[in-house]
Amino acid sequence: MDKKNRNVLLKFTVAAVFLMLNVTGCEKKENPFPDDVGGQIFQGNKIVNVKCSGCHGALGGGGMSAPKLLDYVKNASSEEFVETVIKGRGGMPPFDGLLKEDEVLQIIDWLKKLPS
């Protein structure tokens, strides 16, 4: 087999492997326990990763443009936290229509499980 055919075969093999991974093993992860407490905490983590980490950093630990969620959730009531997320405050935009109250409560539950 010459070098040109070997490169074509290698490219085909790599493409086939990526296709197989996308079809079989690299699927979107769903909540494994949607109705129990652990599942709700899993959802809180997922929401923070998608909706909050861009400003508030990984694990809500603070970012360049927003404070630590851990500090805020420990010093504010759940009602204050929900109101801040839904209505916005200071430089934070409102998430009304983007997050439901029960999703914000899942964020709170998850944050309270993290170490300080």
Give residue-wise pLDDT tens across range 58-95: 878 888 788 888 888 888 899 999 999 999 998 899 99
Helices 78-87 and 101-113 sit at what angle, rounded to 10 degrees?
130
Assess contact for 63 and 57: CB atoms under 8 A. Answer: yes
What is the number of domains present in the chain?
A: 2
> What's the mean pLDDT when you consider all of the chain?
78
Structural domain including 18 reads 1-30
pTM confidence score:
0.63
Check whether residue 46 and residue 103 sit in a common domain.
Answer: yes
Highest mean pLDDT among 1-5, 35-39, 102-106: 102-106
Check whether residue 96 and residue 69 sit in a common domain.
Answer: yes
Report the pLDDT value the prediction gives residue 98, as an integer from 0 to 100.
Answer: 94
Report the pLDDT value the prediction gives residue 21, as an integer from 0 to 100.
Answer: 57
Check whether residue 23 and residue 68 sit in a common domain.
Answer: no
Check whether residue 50 and residue 95 sit in a common domain.
Answer: yes
